[in-house]
Amino acid sequence: MTAAIAVDRLEVIFDRFRALKGVSLDVQPGESFGLVGESGSGKSTLLRAIAGLAPVASGSIAVNGKTLGPRRDKAFYREVQMVFQDPYGSLHPRQTVDRLLQEPLAIHGFVDGEKRIQRALDEVGLGNGFRFRYSHQLSGGQRQRVAIARALILEPSILLLDEPTSALDASVQAEVLNLLEEVRKRRKLTFLMVSHDLAIITHMCERLMVMQGGEAVENLTAADLVERRVTKDYTRNLLRASDGFVRA
Amino acid sequence: MNRKTETLLDVDDLRVTFPTRTGLIEAVRGVSFSLGRERLGIVGESGSGKSQTGRAIMGLTPPQARISANRLAFDGIDLLSVSPRERRALRGNRIAMILQDPKYSLDPVMSIGRQIVETLRTHEKVGKAEARDRALAMLEAVQIRDPARVFDLHPHEVSGGMGQRAMIAMMLIAGPEMMIADEPTSALDVTVQLDVLGILDRLVSERGMGLIFISHDLRLVSSFCDRVIVMYAGKVVEQLKASELGQAQHPYTRGLLNCMPKIGADRHPLPVLDRKPEWAA
């Protein structure tokens, strides 16, 4: 079976800074894969490199068996869509939800826009009442739902999720995570999800990679984490951190 | 005198109202609590009024808002009737506040050291050399490894965790008796979060300060604080000891506790809050 995403010895260099130092990764179709690490570990850079948003110096990325060149074509973006961390920064402030959702449809030449917009809004649990609002009239959770609707409207097979809930309240986070799981099940999507929170990754993903300083530290399954079968100190530290504060 | 039981802050029926084009919005609706030399957590979602409560105590409510209370007193001083001048003397000196994101709460065009020295010299008559020494000592106390180097750095040159430590150093240098920390670790990585909490915890217990810890993360707050106040729609829905969180009565508190994903708990889908209108009543 060809992997949905295959990354081989990927290097990303910003000026002289090596943000990714030869990272390899395979994500199977329909799988949910997590990337964990602290700020600066390169997890978001890896995601952005796949989306074509980071300068790749060497190595290769293949999506559904097709190796990607330096420029992404339209067909790529029909297959792969991304949801960003900050729902306040990723929606156009002067466009209504309707206009935001029309944009990808117009780019890809869809004619049944009306129907698709309604379906996408229903799917993320926002009714038609939200269609002609501006993003500043929405709460953080609602904005992130719009961002998810925008990603889903082209019916991609792969979703890249960059900390989709870290800007949200704990209670709203649960709603958005449930929504993501639901659409993945319904549409048999492949997820590649970045988070600094191990608990979220074990909840959402079957397999994960721990990263630090632009390198892969270790590859684990969610079951490994639950039973604390980790080999590296770095991962152990992350695990301890997710247990909360313990007075010394 | 028993310092533990002495009341530092007394809040009775605090209300904060914002006039808007569509009428009055009550952000805080009758909050009452008292604080000794302890760690008190205030938990709630966005819009629950937790931050506005903290800001009202600090005196940072926007000028168009109206504050009323039966009593809002810090160490016997009525905060609602003191002059702005006296209020300024309290702020930063006896009451300090840490904000969420060091990127926005530090002055971007001033070196970290100068900002700390500025705070100190505003509140105490100390010479330049002594102020510098005390700032360096404070940076060391918040576990910054090379204080002399960090002293001369600007906020954009340090990481989020380092910036937040500098912020804590700045807030503690005048030796406040009460500190309000509004989401002090939400912008930080999980591992750095624990370091910063460890520093806060040690300084608070060593100096016998009163701490108000505002956060939306109930689990984190309960592992850190002695007592927790849960707020919903501007009201306190439940007050309890952190150790008795497991016996929380209010469905909102229980909902907040349950909605976080946990390692080892296989719950799909996650339980979500079913908000009831009568909670806000």
Query: Do residues A33 and A191 touch, judged by C-beta distance below 8 A?
Result: yes
Using an 8 Å CB-CB cutoff, list chain B residues near A199.
Answer: 260-263
Query: Total domain count for chain A?
Result: 1
Q: Do A170 and B190 touch (CB under 8 A)?
A: no
Partner-chain residue, chosen from A171, A202, A247, that has the shortest CB–CB distance to B45 = A171
Instruction: Answer whether residue A105 shows pLDDT above 80.
Output: yes
**Nearest one of B145, B178, B226 to B59, comparing CA atoms:** B178
- Give residue B14's pLDDT band: very low, low, confident or very high (50, 70, 90): very high
Instruction: Answer whether residue A38 shows pLDDT above 90.
Output: no
Instruction: Answer whether residue B131 shows pLDDT above 90.
Output: yes
Q: Do A170 and B259 touch (CB under 8 A)?
A: yes
**Nearest one of B225, B220, B237, B199 to A169, comparing CA atoms:** B220
What is the per-residue pLDDT for A248? 62
In a domain, A246, yes or no: no
Instruction: Express each pLDDT in B265-275 by its tens digit.
Output: 778 888 888 88
Instruction: Answer whether residue A141 shows pLDDT above 60.
Output: yes
Instruction: Answer whether residue B204 shows pLDDT above 60.
Output: yes
3-class state of residue B273 by DSSP: coil
In a domain, A247, yes or no: no
Q: What is the mean pLDDT of residues B234-261?
A: 90
Query: Do residues B166 and B106 touch, judged by C-beta distance below 8 A?
Result: yes
Query: Do residues B41 and B224 touch, judged by C-beta distance below 8 A?
Result: yes
Instruction: Answer whether residue B187 shows pLDDT above 80.
Output: no
- Global pTM? 0.85
Give the Cα separation of B94 and B92 in Å (integer): 6
- Give residue B258's pLDDT band: very low, low, confident or very high (50, 70, 90): confident
Q: Do B269 and A182 touch (CB under 8 A)?
A: yes
Minimum mean pLDDT range among A13-22, A174-183, B63-72, B261-270 = B261-270
> How much of chain B exceeds pLDDT 70, in percent?
98
Q: What is the mean pLDDT of residues A68-77?
A: 90
The average confidence (pLDDT) of chain A is: 91
Structure tokens at A7: 């990354």
In a domain, A78, yes or no: yes
Q: What is the mean pLDDT of residues B203-218?
A: 89
Q: What is the mean pLDDT of residues B189-212?
A: 86
Domain of A93 in residue numbering reads as: 5-241
The average confidence (pLDDT) of chain B is: 89
In a domain, A68, yes or no: yes
The answer, for A224 touching chain B at a CB cutoff of 8 Å, is no
Q: Do B263 and A241 touch (CB under 8 A)?
A: no
ipTM over 0.95: no
Q: Do A241 and B191 touch (CB under 8 A)?
A: yes
Partner-chain residue, chosen from A39, A175, A177, that has the shortest CB–CB distance to B189 = A39
Q: What is the mean pLDDT of residues B217-238?
A: 90
**Residue linked to tokens 């990754």:** A201
Instruction: Answer whether residue B104 shows pLDDT above 50.
Output: yes
Q: Burial level of B101, CB count in 10 A (0-12/13-18/19+)?
A: middle
Using an 8 Å CB-CB cutoff, list chain A residues near B218.
Answer: 170
Q: Which amino acid is residue B254, in one-letter code?
A: R
What is the per-residue pLDDT for B58? 93
Instruction: Answer whether residue A35 shows pLDDT above 60.
Output: yes
What is the per-residue pLDDT for B275? 82
What is the per-residue pLDDT for A104? 94
What is the per-residue pLDDT for B102? 84
The answer, for A200 touching chain B at a CB cutoff of 8 Å, is yes
- Give residue B199's pLDDT band: very low, low, confident or very high (50, 70, 90): confident
- Give residue B130's pLDDT band: very low, low, confident or very high (50, 70, 90): very high
Partner-chain residue, chosen from B159, B191, B263, that has the shortest CB–CB distance to A199 = B263
Q: Burial level of A115, CB count in 10 A (0-12/13-18/19+)?
A: exposed
Residue A232: CATH number of its domain: 3.40.50.300
Q: What is the mean pLDDT of residues B155-172?
A: 89
A171, A224, A242: best to mutate for the B interface, most B CBs within 10 A: A171
Using an 8 Å CB-CB cutoff, list chain A residues near B271.
Answer: 174
Query: Do residues A194 and A43 touch, judged by C-beta distance below 8 A?
Result: yes
Q: Do B216 and A244 touch (CB under 8 A)?
A: no
Strands (E), chain B: 9-20, 23-35, 39-43, 66-68, 71-74, 77-78, 95-98, 178-182, 210-215, 227-232, 235-241
Instruction: Answer whether residue A213 shows pLDDT above 50.
Output: yes
Backbone angles phi, psi at A172, to 5 degrees: -75, -35
Query: Do residues A93 and A136 touch, judged by C-beta distance below 8 A?
Result: yes
Structure tokens at A64: 């559904």
What is the per-residue pLDDT for A78? 93
**Nearest one of B222, B251, B248, B280 to B47, comparing CA atoms:** B280
Q: What is the mean pLDDT of residues B199-227?
A: 88
DSSP strand pairing (A190-195 vs A158-162): parallel
Q: Do A244 and B220 touch (CB under 8 A)?
A: yes
**Nearest one of B74, B40, B67 to B240, comparing CA atoms:** B40
What is the per-residue pLDDT for A207? 95
What is the per-residue pLDDT for B1? 44
In a domain, A71, yes or no: yes
What is the per-residue pLDDT for B5? 59
Q: Which amino acid is residue A4, in one-letter code?
A: A
- Give residue A7's pLDDT band: very low, low, confident or very high (50, 70, 90): very high
Instruction: Answer whether residue B2 shows pLDDT above 70.
Output: no
What is the per-residue pLDDT for B170? 92
Instruction: Answer whether residue A244 shows pLDDT above 80.
Output: no
